[in-house]
């Protein structure tokens, strides 16, 4: 039975990945310090003999008993609300934590998978973004702690690949949403849905003309598995190219929730908020045979149903 370690395994994406790997017949170890994750996300697996949870900070020396075939390194706060409140933890987990996870992969002869991000493109001057675009990142801005840390994580992953011949895979994740995001996560999907369901004002930051392209979690996880099992190092963009302005997106959430919340404009919460973001997914399509299957309307429907339940509605 193949054995996988998922760092950040109690988070939104990590917990869905654990479910998928268990379903595919793997033994799974989830490691998480719960800084932004929750054991609620993995509670349903706790009696599964093929699943184990280790409460641990991956910045510290990593030790895991027995063989490991795959290491999926997802540990990192990911919401822009964490950038000013957890800046050092973000830098450390992506720099020191990635180093430790790579060291463990090398010691175990495991294949290493890095969850990188579209944020490596910064506030992009090329649109949509292909993997070849080198980005426009402000290293000293509030978002720099995340963007630069992920860029470092990509660099050290490639160094282990080139210098130590470690098999590695790098995915650049574009905005992904779905059940198990925290209501107070601060990212736009839980914010808008929570506000719409409570009847509170829907807060659009800045002009609302900035764009994002939203991918449903199950599509993303399918892309992860295909990339890990492929022979391609990447980086490969995985995301859904369906692009919306934040004003359009607020209207869409209002319609799908049947909410009468007003839409209000607020100043941008972080400087360097990317003005446009949309993945070029030709590499994922051609190399992995991957494409998103879940429409925005369908995915938002599933996510709204989840948040309704969390709010007791
Ligand atoms: P999340 O906050 O739900 O999950 C991250 C998990 O990592 C949490 O459970 C957190 O407790 C854990 N963690 C953080 N620091 C840790 C540490 N030092 N030791 C152990 N565990 C630690 O966020 P998510 O959306 O599931 O993101 C998962 C990964 O995907 C992150 O690396 C993120 O940068 C990347 N990503 C996500 C998106 C997205 O749209 N969801 C986009 C781009 C990149
Ligand atoms: N945003 C918004 N209202 C909110 C939360 C976010 O208008 O309540 C905007 C934010 O300024 C950004 C976009 O939505 O332009 C996506 O933000 P998110 O925090 O989800 O992640 P990002 O893509 O910026 O990393």
> Do 82 and 36 meet the contact criterion of CB atoms below 8 Å apart?
yes
Q: Hey, which residues are catalytic here?
A: 146
In this structure, which ligand is nearest to the CA of 114?
1
Average pLDDT over residues 47-61: 97
Ligand nearest to the CA of 214: 1
Please choose, from the candidates 37, 40, 39, the residue with its C-alpha nearest in 3D space to the C-alpha of residue 310.
40
Q: Tell me whether residue 18 is exposed, middle or buried, using C-beta atoms within 10 angstroms of its C-beta: 0 to 12, 13 to 18, 19 or more.
A: buried
Helix (H, G, I), strand (E, B) or coil at 141: coil
For residue range 24-38, list pLDDT tens digits in order.
999 999 999 999 999
pLDDT band at 222 (very low <50, low <70, confident <90, very high): very high
Query: Could you identify the atom of ligand 1 that is nearest to the CA of residue 73?
Result: 32
306 lines ligand 2 (CB under 6 A): no
* Structure tokens, 214: 């939203």
**175 Cα nearest atom in ligand 2:** 23
Cα separation, 124 vs 147, in Å, equals 12
Cα(135) to ligand 1 centroid in Å equals 22
Between CA 185 and CA 81 the distance in angstroms is: 8
Query: How many angstroms separate the alpha carbon of residue 92 from the centre of ligand 1?
Result: 13
Tokens of 127: 């649109």
Angle at which helices 296-310 and 246-257 cross, to 10°: 60
Sheet with 27-32: strands ordered across = 51-55, 27-32, 3-7, 70-73, 111-117, 168-173, 236-238
List Cα–Cα distances, 192 to 94, 210, 212, in angstroms. 28, 15, 14
Measured between alpha carbons, how far is 206 from 51 in angstroms, rounded to an integer? Answer: 43
Ligand nearest to the CA of 176: 1
The per-residue pLDDT for range 124-144, each reduced to its tens digit, is 999 999 999 999 999 999 999
CA dist 239 and 253 (Å) reads 20
| Ligand 2 pocket: which of 116, 205, 261 to mutate (most atoms within 8 A of CB) | 205
How do residues 140-182 score in pLDDT, each as one tens digit? 999 999 999 999 999 999 999 999 999 999 999 999 999 999 9
To which residue do tokens 């895991």 refer?
Answer: 64
Q: What is the pLDDT of residue 64?
A: 96
Pocket of ligand 1 (CB under 6 A): 7-8, 10-14, 32-37, 57-59, 74-78, 93, 97, 115, 117, 173, 175-176
Calculate what percentage of the chain has a pLDDT beyond 70: 100
- Which residues lie below 8 Å from residue 162, measured CB to CB, with a gap of 6+? none
Q: How far is the first Cα of the chain from the last one, in angstroms, to the nearest whole number?
A: 41
Q: Atom 34 in ligand 1: which residue has the minimum CA distance?
A: 78
CA distance 297 to 310: 20
- Please give the distance, rounded to the nearest whole angstrom, from the Cα atom of residue 208 to the centre of ligand 2: 9
> Does the CB atom of residue 188 touch ligand 2 within 6 A?
yes
pLDDT tens digit string along 85-110? 999 999 999 999 999 999 999 999 99
Beta carbons within 10 angstroms of residue 191's beta carbon: 23
| Mean pLDDT value across residues 38-65 | 97
273 vs 84, 123, 154, 265, CA distance in Å?
Answer: 14, 7, 22, 15
Position 186 scores a pLDDT of 93
In order of their start, the domains of the chain are 3-178+215-241+280-288 (3.40.50.720), 188-209+243-277+296-310 (3.90.25.10)
Cβ 114 vs Cβ 170: under 8 Å? yes
Angle in degrees, CA 123, 124, 125, rounded to 5: 125
Q: Using the mean position of ligand 2's atoms as its centre, give its distance from the Cα of residue 187 in Å.
A: 6
Compute, in angstroms, the gap from residue 195 CA to the centroid of ligand 2: 14
- The pTM is what? 0.98
Task: Give nearest CA residue, ligand 2 atom 6.
Answer: 188
> What confidence tens digit (pLDDT) does each residue in 62-87 have?
999 999 999 999 999 999 999 999 99
């Amino acid at each position: 039975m193949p054995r996988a370690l998922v760092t950040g395994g109690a988070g939104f994406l990590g917990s869905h990945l654990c479910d998928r790997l268990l379903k595919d017949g793997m033994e799974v170890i989830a490691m998480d310090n719960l800084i932004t994750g929750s054991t609620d996300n993995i509670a349903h697996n706790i009696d599964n003999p093929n699943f184990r949870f280790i409460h641990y900070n991956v910045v510290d020396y990593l030790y895991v008993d027995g063989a490991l075939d795959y290491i999926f390194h997802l540990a990192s706060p990911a919401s822009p609300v964490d950038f000013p409140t957890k800046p050092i933890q973000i830098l450390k987990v992506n720099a020191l934590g990635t180093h430790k996870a790579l060291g463990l992969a090398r010691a175990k002869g495991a294949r290493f998978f890095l969850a990188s991000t579209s944020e490596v493109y910064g506030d992009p001057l090329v649109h949509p973004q292909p993997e070849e675009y080198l980005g426009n990142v402000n290293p000293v801005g509030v978002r720099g702690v995340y963007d630069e840390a992920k860029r470092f994580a990509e660099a050290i992953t490639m160094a282990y690949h080139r210098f130590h011949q470690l098999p590695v895979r790098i995915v650049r994740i574009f905005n992904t949403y779905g059940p198990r995001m925290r209501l107070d996560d601060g990212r736009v999907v839980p914010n808008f849905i929570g506000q719409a369901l409570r009847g509170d004002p829907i807060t659009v930051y800045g002009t609302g003309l900035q764009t994002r392209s939203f991918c449903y979690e199950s599509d993303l996880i399918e892309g992860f598995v295909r990339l890990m099992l492929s022979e391609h190092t990447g980086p490969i963009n995985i995301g859904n190219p369906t692009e919306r302005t934040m004003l359009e997106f607020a209207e869409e959430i209002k319609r799908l929730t049947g909410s009468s919340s007003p839409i209000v404009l607020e100043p941008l919460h972080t400087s360097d908020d990317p003005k446009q973001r949309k993945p070029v997914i030709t590499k994922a399509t051609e190399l992995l045979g991957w494409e998103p299957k879940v429409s925005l309307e369908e995915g938002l429907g599933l996510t709204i149903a989840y948040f309704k339940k969390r709010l007791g509605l």
